[in-house]
Amino acid sequence: MTALLHLDASPRPGRSGTDEHGSHTRRLTDHFVSQWRRQRSGDAVMRRDIGARPPALTTVEWIQAAFTAPDRHQPWMREVLAESDALVQEVLDADILVLGVPMYNFSYPAAFKAWIDNIVRVGRTVDFDPSNLEDPFTPLLADRPRRAVILSSRGGFGMNPGGPLAHLNHLEASIRTALGFIGIERFHEIAIEHQEEGGERLEASIADALSRVDALVDELQWSRETVPACA
């Protein structure tokens, strides 16, 4: 059985194509999960809507708790880290992270950054050995293959790799860096463009993205059925 983590970072509550002013990224994540479950209805899907309920920001109390050895945790420290622990566990349990992340000012929304800050945890998702001067960090999620599917939307266009405005796009690269740091190294990226422009170009971009989601679901389901879990 494959476990999916379905995460949405858009503050827009609805989906484009269904709700007025709905989110394009929510439309893509919903389409991915719906297509996946159409073929594999028994697979587990964990749902996390950080657009509606953003994770808490990092505080001095959080830092103190996170960098205190677990056997020395006081009750208030466990309480401070409870949400982070839950977010970390969802990532640990997932085989595929389905991430709906719109582009805001060249990168991702603050709620998604808060999620990243909660799941990149020394002792939980990455280890730190100061005696190793070449590379003191060891990712803890490299124990088995995990994938991240990044489903994004952009107001402009030409921001895909090789595009004329690719240098302005810091969204996917930043996600790859953070998740790769903890051991997730297989990525798939699909984005809708032309949102600000609207019209035929936006509709064509939406249709292309939905088609690519369909193809990706087929590809991933085929690979999980034919490739051993230890590969």
- What is the pTM assigned to this prediction? 0.93
CA–CA dist 49, 11 (Å, integer):
9
Any idea how long the chain is?
A: 231
So what's the pLDDT on residue 222? 86
Q: Mind giving me the DSSP string for 8-33?
A: E--S--SBTTTSTT-BHHHHHHHHHH
Query: What is residue 138's three-state secondary structure?
Result: strand
User: From the annotation, which residues make up the binding site for FMN?
Assistant: 10, 103-106, 153-156
So what's the pLDDT on residue 158? 94
Average pLDDT over the chain reads: 94
pLDDT band for 225, please (50, 70, 90 cuts). low
Q: Is the pLDDT of residue 231 over 90?
A: no
**What residues contact residue 131 under an 8 Å CB cut-off, 6+ apart?**
none
Q: For residue 97, give both structure tokens.
A: 């992270």
User: From the annotation, which residues make up the binding site?
Assistant: 10, 103-106, 153-156
Which single residue is written with the structure tokens 């800050």? 117
Which run of H or E residues covers position 39?
Answer: helix 24-39
pLDDT tens for residues 65-111? 999 999 999 999 999 999 999 999 999 999 999 999 999 999 999 99
pLDDT tens for residues 9-48? 999 999 998 988 899 999 999 999 999 999 999 999 999 9
pLDDT tens for residues 120-164? 999 999 999 989 988 999 999 999 999 999 999 999 999 999 999
Q: Is the pLDDT of residue 229 over 80?
A: no
pLDDT band for 227, please (50, 70, 90 cuts). very low
Domains in the chain and their CATH numbers? 3-226 (3.40.50.360)
Q: What own/partner pairs with CB < 8 Å and gap ≥ 24 does 113-116 have?
A: 114/50, 114/54, 114/55, 114/56, 114/57, 114/58, 115/7, 115/9, 115/50, 115/55, 115/87, 116/175, 116/178
So what's the pLDDT on residue 46? 98
DSSP letter, residue 144: S
